[in-house]
Structure 1
Amino acid sequence: PTTNSQQLTTNNQQLTTNSITQILETAIQQAETLQDQRAKSYSLGTLGKWYETTEDWTEGQNFTQKALLIAQQINASDIAYQWQWQLGRLLQAQAEEISQTKEANVKAIAYYTEAFNTLNSLRSDIVALNPEIQFSFRESVEPVYRQFVDLLLRSPTPTKDNLIQARKVMEALQLAELDNFFRDACATPQAVNIDDVDKQAAIIYPIILENRLEVILKLPGQDNLRRYANSGISEAQVDEAVQQLQVALTKRSTSISQVKKASKQIYDWLIQPFESELKSLENSEQNRIRTLVFVLDSSLRNIPPAVLYDGEKYLIERYAIALTPGLQLVEPKPLLTQNLRALIAGATNAPSFQSERFTSLDNVALELAGIKEQLTQSQILKNQEFIEENIQTQLNSVPFNIIHIATHGKFSSNPQETFLLDWNKRIKVRDLDNLLRVNDPNKASSIELLVLSACETAAGDKRAALGLAGMAVRAGARSTLATLWQVNDASTAEFMLRFYQQLNTPQISKAEALRNTQIAFLSEYPDTDYNRPYFWAPFILVGNWL
């Protein structure tokens, strides 16, 4: 009986294979009859994909090549990249089967490179395609970038070119994620050479792959790159470690030792491999690193790197820290402290808070008044005055370079659920650029710093902080200081007061102003529990750290 049932299964599989290939061959013939080249390319490519699932690599390549040729002839880049990607997968799978190793195949890398270049050229179109053929980004776009980086970094010692390319691909993925978040190509990338921007900054790129966590470190000096692979660490393990740290951080009652334990795990993955080299640079006056800039990946965006713990100190005790969704979005200009002009807005208990089921923010009046004292030029919009129209009017009449908003807000991976609340209603992230960009075409947007002091990331959303990056980019501000969780406490008013005092100090970068404030919280408030990360760690600086 076993043999019969095995035979039956084999027959069924054969039947399925035959019927699927038959259906697809019919589709190819119909497309030819209709002279529909696009449909023909799709049908050929889908047949190639079917052969990929049955592990017939040669036939898979044969049909995918034909599909690609047609797609290129009719300039259908949106399908061409899929066949380039498919050929990369087929060639890699075939090479692994022949060599019985996991080594990256040169031809596979060449096709992944083509797919990546095609996706980049498609950037503004891919999100504007009509909704019927809208891609599922997570299934059809993101894996191209991750699998490409995986191949580039397969070798125990990747070449310098591969490291440079891997870094480029991760930068592009960050942009693509933002495009997908807004469904438009909202961010304009500009090539930035970090060595021209800040010779005392190191950039850290954690990269979450299927079976390992890679980290690329960019040190001062041209293409001065290091890499470390945390083998055997899955995405699920990273997500779990992030979640444990998030839970520990956002509960005021968590013991400090619990936070340190949870954050040490992530420190060991991201920083520990480079610890000795970073420390050796501490004594070098020329190459001394003052700032660590993180281009975080996936769920890692939901935690503040400042809190990573090495067993003795938090990372913030050693370096100033900033985040960026990619260096291409950093406009490298330092803040000129002598002419700070701030629009300060917020509400204590707006009707919108009640309708959205948020509690009152009892310390906002204190916060706004404290900031006003720190700055020589400022305008306050408080409570009923804090409405979208008034913000717009103010921005069009005075060239403010700081906007400080103390109100409830939420960051989510869904743009519909990413918003700030004015007195009456939501200001959605999509409308933020219209609100904060000046109407007069002769006045360039000169918002140096947007501060959002009472926001939070959506619970249970591992990509929630994408909303924060989205808001930062959409607002058009060079830098955004925001909170990952909300601390509804007098400490926030005190934190902001200290931050603006620091910001007023000449020759101090925004990242250093934030660092000095966080260190003050760690050490200068003996009669409070402000030294708990709950109070000082939620504040993160996104964008230009200078």
Structure 2
Amino acid sequence: MSFLPLETFASGSGTYLVEDFEISYLPNLTLAELLRSRRYAEAKGKACLWGGALYEERMAGPGGAPAEAGSIDAPSPGDLRLDALARLDEGKSLEPVFEDLGIYGWTDLPGTLGEAEDIRKLYPLAEMLTGGAVREDAVKAKFSPSKNDQFEFVHFALHGIVLPDIPEISAMVVTSESGSAEDGYLTSREIEELSVKAETVVLSACETGLGIYYGGEGVAGLAQAFILAGAKGVSVTLWQVSDESTREFMSGVYALTRQGMSFSAASSSMKRRFVNSSRWSEPFFWAPFIFTGISD
């Protein structure tokens, strides 16, 4: 059930549940009270947008051969897991681990730049970082525990990796620079060490919502990492989505938040619009966007 969007379930009247209800998710009961207690009084109207990362240097697979983006469903043997965790502990690049899993060949997402620009038009005071500025060290510096910045929205429009068998190295893929000490993969464990004081973090990327299920304690993935870092709520995607439809969906959601809606309510409202549209009515286009946490 953790990986199924409830919005797609049929109600008694034969419509989708999202047509009658606003649906959001809580990672677990342990965190529910903590999220309700978070108050970011200085966050209103402030946003930090990340998009249009440069992936050109990462388009080749092992040995420099051009490659398509790899599958995240590759098996993860125990020794590979141990190697991944050892590299994470020692601060070594995770690139070899991802290559062993068939995860490589990142291509640019031109729609993500337009997505960030659309949001900035609605929130003109938003800080927007694009292209070569979307680096791992820049994200870590922006959300350093030594800072106390608060945001209404932090938006990442990037490639994402989710590994249910090794959730610690699930990651957002950012611009990678030759000679950098960082490998360009901002992992769940690294995110947990940041200070992201935000009402809502939006992960507008491929399959950022999946994770590993621990009994009754929810899904441990990128969303959980951002909540542990300080976010009150996180919007993630459950499967690969179209650049074009994502841009339209996100632009619509932010337009509604500008009118005073909470992010969760705005997301549900946009899903209803998509359901009733001629072009994006199939659940494939609107169901993957789910909101985890508390949205006021």
Q: Same fold (TM over 0.5)?
A: yes
1:100 corresponds to which residue? none
1:385: how far off? 0.6
Q: Within 5 Å, which residues of 2 pair with 1:446-465?
A: 446-456=197-207, 463=213, 465=219
Distance 1:475 1:352 in 2: 30
In the alignment, does 2:144 pair up with 1:412?
no
1:485 to 239, 255, 261: 239
Secondary structure of the residue aligned to 2:2 is helix
The higher radius of gyration belongs to 1
Flag structure 2 segments of 5+ consecutive residues without an equivalent. 61-103, 177-183
Distance 1:337 1:533 in 2: 36
In the alignment, does 2:5 pair up with 1:304?
yes
Tell me, yes or no, if the aligned pair for 1:337 and 1:503 is still in contact at 8 Å: no
Range that drifts further, 334-343 or 319-328: 334-343
Change over 3 Å in CA distance of 1:335–1:321 after alignment to 2: farther
1:387: how far off? 0.8
1:353: how far off? 4.8
Distance 1:394 1:452 in 2: 17
Distance 1:536 1:327 in 2: 27
Tell me, yes or no, if the aligned pair for 1:429 and 1:474 is still in contact at 8 Å: no
Distance 2:148 2:24 in 1: 31
1:339 to 27, 40, 44: 44
Q: Deviations over 1:396-437 (max 9, x none)?
A: 4854332100101122321244111110110111001333x1
Tell me, yes or no, if the aligned pair for 2:192 and 2:229 is still in contact at 8 Å: yes
Greater helix content: 1
1:502: how far off? 1.3
Distance 2:274 2:42 in 1: 23
1:403 to 151, 154, 160: 154
Distance 1:402 1:516 in 2: 18
AA partner of residue 344 (structure 1): L
Change over 3 Å in CA distance of 1:535–1:347 after alignment to 2: same
Change over 3 Å in CA distance of 1:319–1:408 after alignment to 2: same
In the alignment, does 2:174 pair up with 1:422?
yes
TM-score, normalising length from structure 2?
0.70
1:387 to 125, 135, 146: 135
Range that drifts further, 322-331 or 371-380: 322-331
Change over 3 Å in CA distance of 1:503–1:484 after alignment to 2: same
1:536 to 274, 286, 294: 286
TM-score, normalising length from structure 1?
0.40
Secondary structure of the residue aligned to 2:108 is coil
Change over 3 Å in CA distance of 1:352–1:474 after alignment to 2: farther
Distance 2:113 2:212 in 1: 33
Q: Percent identity?
A: 26
Distance 1:304 1:532 in 2: 14
2:55 to 350, 354, 364: 350
Secondary structure of the residue aligned to 2:202 is strand
Change over 3 Å in CA distance of 1:474–1:340 after alignment to 2: same
Tell me, yes or no, if the aligned pair for 1:479 and 1:544 is still in contact at 8 Å: yes
1:534: how far off? 0.6
RMSD: 2.8
Tell me, yes or no, if the aligned pair for 1:337 and 1:504 is still in contact at 8 Å: no
Change over 3 Å in CA distance of 1:539–1:337 after alignment to 2: farther
1:348: how far off? 4.8
Change over 3 Å in CA distance of 1:470–1:462 after alignment to 2: closer
1:370: how far off? 0.3
Distance 1:416 1:422 in 2: 17
AA partner of residue 268 (structure 2): R
2:192 to 415, 433, 457: 433
Distance 1:397 1:517 in 2: 32
Higher relative contact order (CA 8 A, sep 6+): 2
Distance 2:58 2:51 in 1: 12
1:345: how far off? 0.4
Distance 1:466 1:387 in 2: 24
Distance 2:221 2:189 in 1: 11
1:517: how far off? 1.1
Distance 1:472 1:338 in 2: 16
Distance 2:271 2:18 in 1: 8
2:267 to 502, 514, 532: 514
In the alignment, does 2:117 pair up with 1:364?
no
Distance 2:263 2:233 in 1: 9
1:171 corresponds to which residue? none
1:376 to 102, 119, 124: 124
